[in-house]
Structure 1
């Protein structure tokens, strides 16, 4: 994994004809937390039922001073997500709606850290359940309570293109019934969220992580006739290992 991360960053530098010292990165260390966990949240966007699912954790990517755990500057890492399937037979409110398969999303996360502040943006392509583009923009603030325990508080806005929003929030004329009119929706912001995340370092390289996220569907997504609950809370816990390499 270290080799793959090193190759990815070095390849990006080579492609632009730049070197680490050109960006002030010489002597810096790139690190990332990688692990697995469990997420409990809505089983599909707009649902009022929860589902537990395994997740791959890849977070806190960025540059640090050697031996430090505080990421600074630019960070680029993969972004993963999974949306649960939606079956009309599971809820009478969805009678007559097309079923949606489980969706897998893969993309990139770009972040930049100034001291305790981190701004970030993600963009992912969906596969199977939906084939749209989705992602988030937002910021987080880090508070170190001790040498081992760190907290982040954050705000974010979720986005979906027309394919994504249409899949989960749209109603086609064929699916319309009395009380559930046809609903055409385009791309735009669909979720506003506040989050609180904790990281406890068990050792120098192993940590326990957890996040509570409270989201609310907004805009045309929140007004969709198929949304069963506009409030979308989630909880995730996991274990990660810190991987790092030095320039």
Structure 2
């Protein structure tokens, strides 16, 4: 994972550097917050229990004028996520269901910033627990309260293809019970979320980052008989360092 992250940083830096020169970003810099933290959220999609897991942070990437917090134009960066394992023995409602291992997701995130508004989209491929494709589209708005404190509020929609949604929300005929009928689900949007993010600068380049997400399963995912709770809140807290690359 360390080597993968290092390669992703180098690839993203090279890509954004080429983009900056090709599209007239001379005199600007590309900056990004990189760090680690803790993510406390549902054990797995649809769970009503929470667990703590690692948070690999790549946030607030974009071009801007040196010495400011403004990000403008397109930016491409890695997108990481993990999904907790699902053990049938941990919950009576899952009796007879196949266990699902912890999943690791790796992909890309594309964003476009204009002033305080940033639109984004991400896509990731899963490994181990699921082998589907998932991601989000959304937008967030930045408010700078001071030189040290910045807030973001955002809206997003989560998506999963057929393999992803079937892994976490589907019920095979062999797993069906009278109280849990077979359930076939295809790809589509599966979660809507409101997020609030805060960044507090400890030094010029070091900061504490926190995020609260209030998510709700939607569509066919919300109707799945294995969903224990449609509401999927999460809390993240970590420390980041800002890296800047001038052009």
The residue that corresponds to 1:111 in the other structure is 111
- Give yes or no for contact 1:135–1:159 (8 Å, CA) kept in 2: yes
1:70 aligns with 2:74: no
The residue that corresponds to 1:151 in the other structure is 151
Q: How far did 1:7 drift?
A: 5.5
Q: Equivalent residues in 2 for 1:212-227 (5 A)?
A: 212-227=212-227
Q: Equivalent residues in 2 for 1:15-54 (5 A)?
A: 20-54=20-54
Instruction: Decide whether aligned partners of structure 1 residues 6 and 23 sit closer, same or farther in structure 2, where only a CA change above 3 A counts.
Output: farther
SS at match of 2:168: helix
- Give yes or no for contact 1:111–1:119 (8 Å, CA) kept in 2: yes
Q: Which runs of at least 4 in structure 1 moved beyond 3 Å after TM superposition?
A: 1-14, 19-22
Q: How far did 1:11 drift?
A: 5.0
Whole-Å Cα distance in 2 between the matches of residues 10 and 55 of structure 1? Answer: 24
Whole-Å Cα distance in 1 between the matches of residues 104 and 198 of structure 2? Answer: 26
Whole-Å Cα distance in 1 between the matches of residues 235 and 72 of structure 2? Answer: 27
Whole-Å Cα distance in 1 between the matches of residues 15 and 100 of structure 2? Answer: 38
- Give yes or no for contact 2:12–2:78 (8 Å, CA) kept in 1: no
Instruction: Decide whether aligned partners of structure 1 residues 2 and 182 sit closer, same or farther in structure 2, where only a CA change above 3 A counts.
Output: closer
Q: Equivalent residues in 2 for 1:86-235 (5 A)?
A: 86-235=86-235
- Give yes or no for contact 1:2–1:243 (8 Å, CA) kept in 2: no
- Give yes or no for contact 1:6–1:245 (8 Å, CA) kept in 2: no
- Give yes or no for contact 2:16–2:75 (8 Å, CA) kept in 1: no
- Give yes or no for contact 2:16–2:76 (8 Å, CA) kept in 1: no
Q: How far did 1:69 drift?
A: 2.2
Whole-Å Cα distance in 2 between the matches of residues 173 and 61 of structure 1? Answer: 45
CA-based RMSD of the aligned residues comes to: 1.8
Q: May I ask how many residue pairs the two structures share in their alignment?
A: 243
Whole-Å Cα distance in 2 between the matches of residues 136 and 232 of structure 1? Answer: 15
Unaligned runs of 5+ in 2: none
The residue that corresponds to 1:243 in the other structure is 243
Q: How far did 1:20 drift?
A: 3.7
Superimposed CA distance per residue, residues 8-64 of structure 1 (whole angstroms, 9 cap, x where no aligned partner):
4445776xxxx7444121111011100000010001000000001111111111111
Whole-Å Cα distance in 2 between the matches of residues 234 and 152 of structure 1? Answer: 16
- Give yes or no for contact 2:180–2:225 (8 Å, CA) kept in 1: yes
Whole-Å Cα distance in 2 between the matches of residues 183 and 104 of structure 1? Answer: 25
Whole-Å Cα distance in 2 between the matches of residues 31 and 86 of structure 1? Answer: 37
Whole-Å Cα distance in 2 between the matches of residues 143 and 12 of structure 1? Answer: 25
Unaligned runs of 5+ in 1: none
